[in-house]
Each structure stands twice: as C-alpha cells, then as structure tokens.
Amino acid sequence: MTGGIKKWPQDERPREKMRINGAASLSDAELLALIVRSGDPSSRQSAIDLGRQLILHFDNNLRQLGSANLSELCAIKGMGVAKAAGVKAAFALAARFQARKLEHLDRFTSPRQVFEYFHHEFRDSRKEYFLALLLDGKNRIIRRVQISEGSLNQSIVHPREVFHPAVRESAAAVILVHNHPTGDPAPSQEDIAITRRLKEAGEIMGIRVLDHIIVGDGEYVSFVERGLL
C-alpha cells in the first residue's frame, strides 16, 4: 500500500496500532516508519515503504542496519540526513539502555551471564574495547570502567589504568572484559600475557582478578573456565 499513511484506515496506522495494542504489535518496518516519520513523496513511497526498503537493503538484518553509518543510510533513496540521524539515534539509545541495565544488576554469577550482557553491546563493534568491572567484597558491581579502545597491547592495558580506579572505588576484585571484532573469542598470546600481568599486579595490591572474558560473535572464552587464570 503506497501513499500517505494518513489516508490509511486508522487501525492500520503504526501510531494507532501502538496506542491500541502496544509497541510489540508493530513490525520492524512499522517501528522504523515511526522513526523516519515520512516517506519519499517523489516516488509516492510511504514511511512504512521506506522502513521496508531499509530492512531489505540490509538483508533483513537489524544488526547490519544498526551498525550502518550516516553515509550508508543517506545513500538509500528516500533517506536524508535527518531521517538517517533519527535511525542512528534510535539504535544508539537502545544500546545505552542496555548498558544502563548494568547499574541495576546486583552481581554477575557466571561467565555466561557476563557474555550475555556484553554480547548485545559488542556484537556489532568494529573496534576492540577493554573494560574492567569493579566489584565490592561481596562481588557486587560497583561500576564499569573502560580501559582502552583499539588493538590491545601491554602499554595501553597497563596495571595502573586498571587498578587506579579500582583503588579509588575501594574495589575488592575486578572482572576483565574485552571483545574481538573478528568474532573469534580465542585468546591471543598478547591477551594471555596481559591477563597474567594484571593478575600479578592485583595480587600485590590485594585486588583479585576474578576472570577475563573475551566476547566474540555468539560465543565467548572465560579464562577461568579454560584454566588460564
């Protein structure tokens, strides 16, 4: 169905469907229609048509759509900077919401739980990030600290960068987390060397390194589970 959405029966309009049945009742294309708000008048394309076009352009893969940059989005017929920025903002907000959930999480109780949480954040990342989760004496999360961005090496992931915030927050332990943008979570020799160095530094300072978890695409490696820590 083409033409303006205002000409559609009310119960087929995305806003009305959301009002009556909730957001879960809307298709991906309808949710995108609410974000882009209008279609392409030159081709009589509705906002939902544009939403479908966006999804098809990225092979029905919302992960690819979410990781697209502004230039890639603007290259699609009917999209402009404002619409593309709206789509990027929606995905960024969703990612931040996922990250904020950590603030209300009492504790991680297993490596898989850490993976399941961070997989959503890292699975589309094109960069490598190294984080430290600071824990209190009962292994409850105090906060997360980003240590580095980019390829890991021992000059970037230095013990002082990890343990300075841990000391400042009176943390009793840390969990190390980083991602492999390649999708393969197998630890490199550099990963192993960095982890050993941090464990040794933590022992001197009385701050335990409980685990180091590498997040890949749909899988992870826990140094504790592998007997590497």
CA–CA distance from 219 to each of 19, 32, 133, 180, 182 (Å)? 38, 29, 20, 11, 12
Is 199 a residue whose pLDDT tops 70? yes
Least confident window among 2-6, 117-121, 177-181, 217-221:
2-6
| Residue 227: band (very low, low, confident or very high) from pLDDT cuts 50, 70, 90 | very high
Q: What is the pLDDT of residue 131?
A: 93
Q: Is 149 helix (H, G, I), strand (E, B) or coil?
A: strand
Sheet-wide strand order for 220-222:
141-149, 129-135, 173-179, 208-215, 220-222
Q: 41 vs 46, which has greater pLDDT?
A: 46
CA 182 to CA 118: how far, in whole Å? Answer: 16
Half-sphere exposure (Cβ direction) of 220: Cα atoms closer than 13 Å:
26
Say whether both 114 and 183 belong to one domain. yes
Q: What is the pLDDT of residue 63?
A: 77
In a domain, 120, yes or no: yes
CATH number at residue 149: 3.40.140.10
pTM > 0.75: yes or no:
no
Say whether both 84 and 128 belong to one domain. no
Instruction: Determine the structural domain holding residue 127 and report its residue range.
Output: 105-222
Q: At what angle do helices 28-36 and 81-100 cross, to 10 degrees?
A: 120
Domain count, the chain: 2
Q: Which of 46, 63, 98 is the last residue of a domain?
A: 98
Say whether both 45 and 93 belong to one domain. yes
CATH number at residue 12: 1.10.150
CA 212 to CA 223: how far, in whole Å? Answer: 5
CA–CA distance from 117 to each of 63, 110, 217 (Å)? 16, 11, 13
In a domain, 227, yes or no: no
- The model's pLDDT over 45-91, given as tens digits with 9 standing for 90+, comes to 888 889 899 999 988 888 788 888 999 999 999 999 999 999 999 98
Q: What is the pLDDT of residue 2?
A: 47
Q: Which of 76, 98, 120 is the last residue of a domain?
A: 98
Say whether both 112 and 208 belong to one domain. yes
